[in-house]
C-alpha cells in the first residue's frame, strides 16, 4: 500500500441517534437502524470543518469533497446488529412550522438508544482535506460539532486507530466479515457450517441481519434533472463464517486488518 494511503478507524458514539427514512412520514418519522454512508459523510464534514447544506438545489460541500471516500461500518454494543429504539414526541410552536391553527406542529420520531459504530476510512494524505480529516480524527478534534443524524444528538468518538498492517482479502478460504457488507446475491446458502453451530455449549449461534441502506445521493435522473434522493444497497451484518465460494469482490473492497479481521469498504 502507498505510504500516502492510510486506513484508520474510530468508534463513533451518541446517547441517541436518528437517521430519517425519507419514505415514511405518516404520523411518525422512522429511523434506519444502521449508520449509513451519506450520514457518515456529513459527520466527517463536521470533523474536517467543511460546510454542509447552504441552499436548495446545491449539494453540500462536504458531500462533493468526500463522496469518493471508501468507508466501512461495524456496529458496536448492539443486539445482533440491532439497537434499542424509543418513540419521542415534541412540539414546534414557533408559528412557522405548521399551517394549522396556532401554528403548533407535533412531531413524533423513532430514535436509536445509545448507537455506536466503528467507522473505517481509507484516506489519501496527498489530498489536503483528507489529511486534515486524518489529523483531526487521530487528535480527537472537530471543527464543527458532529451529531448522530440530528443536531439534537451530539456525537463523540474514541479508540482512533491508524492501521500499519492491512492487505486486500482474496477470498481464498472461509471468512468472517466484521463490518456490514453490501451483498450482490443471497448469502444464507454460503454460511459455513461447523460443529460449534450444533453444540449445546456454543455461546454464539450464527445470525444474519439485513437492512437496505442509502449508499449515495442520486444527483440527476435520465433527463438531467436534479434528484437529491438516496440510492440504496442491500447490506448484511453477521457473525457467521462464509464459504470461500462466495466471492464478494464485486460488491466492494475487502481488506484483512491486523492479520485476522476482515472488513468491507464501499
Burial class (CB in 10 A: 0-12, 13-18, 19+), 89: exposed
Average pLDDT over residues 26-49: 95
The residue among 177, 136, 178, 128 whose CA lies nearest residue 160 is 136
> Which pLDDT band holds residue 242 (cuts at 50, 70, 90)?
very high
In whole angstroms, give the CA distance from residue 22 to residue 235.
18
Q: What is the dihedral of CA 25, 31, 37, 42, to 10 degrees?
A: 80
For the cut 50, the answer to whether the pLDDT of residue 197 exceeds it is no
pLDDT of 228 = 79
What are the cell numbers at 81?
A: 446488529
Total H helices, total E strands in the chain: 3, 13
Average pLDDT over residues 180-199: 75
Question: Number of structural domains, the chain?
Answer: 1
> Which pLDDT band holds residue 259 (cuts at 50, 70, 90)?
confident
Considering all CA atoms of the chain, what is the largest pairwise distance in Å, rounded to the nearest integer? 66
In whole angstroms, give the CA distance from residue 203 to residue 56.
51
The residue among 213, 206, 252 whose CA lies nearest residue 22 is 213
**How far is the CA of 36 from the CAs of 54, 95, 217, 253, in angstroms?**
22, 33, 12, 17
pLDDT of 199 = 44
For the cut 50, the answer to whether the pLDDT of residue 195 exceeds it is no
pLDDT of 44 = 98
pLDDT of 25 = 63
For the cut 60, the answer to whether the pLDDT of residue 202 exceeds it is no
pLDDT of 236 = 97
pLDDT in tens, 113-170: 999 999 999 999 999 999 999 999 999 999 999 999 999 999 999 999 999 989 999 9
Average pLDDT over residues 92-111: 71
> Which pLDDT band holds residue 198 (cuts at 50, 70, 90)?
very low
Orientation angle between helical segments 128-138 and 37-48, nearest 10 degrees: 90
Residue 90: how many other CB atoms lie within 10 Å: 11
State the CATH number of the domain containing residue 179.
3.30.70.2660
> In the beta sheet, which residues pair with residue 87?
110
For the cut 80, the answer to whether the pLDDT of residue 13 exceeds it is yes
Lowest mean pLDDT, pick from 65-69, 161-165, 189-193, 220-224 = 220-224
Q: pTM higher than 0.75 for the full model?
A: yes
In whole angstroms, give the CA distance from residue 38 to residue 215.
6
Q: What is the mean pLDDT of the chain?
A: 89
Task: Domain of residue 55: give its range.
Answer: 5-265
In whole angstroms, give the CA distance from residue 91 to residue 107.
6
Half-sphere exposure of 95 (CA within 13 A, CB side): 0
Amino acid at each position: 500500500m502507498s505510504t500516502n494511503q492510510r486506513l484508520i478507524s474510530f468508534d463513533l458514539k451518541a446517547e441517541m441517534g436518528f437517521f430519517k427514512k425519507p419514505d415514511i412520514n405518516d404520523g411518525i418519522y422512522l429511523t434506519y437502524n444502521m449508520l449509513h454512508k451519506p450520514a457518515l459523510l456529513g459527520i466527517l464534514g463536521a470533523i474536517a470543518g467543511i460546510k454542509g447544506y447552504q441552499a436548495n438545489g446545491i449539494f453540500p460541500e462536504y458531500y462533493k469533497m468526500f463522496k469518493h471516500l471508501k468507508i466501512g461500518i461495524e456496529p458496536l454494543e448492539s443486539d445482533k446488529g440491532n439497537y434499542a429504539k424509543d418513540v419521542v414526541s415534541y412540539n414546534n410552536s414557533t408559528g412557522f412550522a405548521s399551517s394549522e391553527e396556532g401554528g403548533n406542529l407535533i412531531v413524533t420520531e423513532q430514535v436509536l438508544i445509545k448507537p455506536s459504530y466503528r467507522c473505517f476510512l481509507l484516506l489519501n494524505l496527498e489530498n489536503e482535506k483528507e489529511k486534515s480529516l486524518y489529523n483531526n480524527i487521530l487528535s480527537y478534534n472537530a471543527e464543527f460539532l458532529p451529531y448522530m443524524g440530528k443536531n439534537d444528538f451530539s456525537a463523540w468518538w474514541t479508540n482512533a486507530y491508524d492501521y500499519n498492517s492491512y492487505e486486500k482479502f482474496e477470498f481464498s478460504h472461509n471468512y468472517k466479515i466484521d463490518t456490514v457488507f453490501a451483498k450482490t446475491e443471497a448469502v444464507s446458502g454460503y454460511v459455513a457450517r461447523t460443529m460449534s453451530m450444533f453444540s449445546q455449549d456454543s455461546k454464539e449461534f450464527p445470525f444474519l441481519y439485513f437492512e437496505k441502506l442509502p449508499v449515495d445521493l442520486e444527483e440527476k435522473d435520465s433527463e438531467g434533472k436534479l434528484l437529491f434522493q438516496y440510492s440504496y444497497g442491500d447490506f448484511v451484518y453477521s457473525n457467521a463464517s462464509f464459504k470461500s465460494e462466495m466471492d464478494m469482490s464485486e460488491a466492494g473492497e475487502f481488506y484483512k486488518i491486523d492479520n485476522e479481521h476482515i472488513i468491507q469498504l464501499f
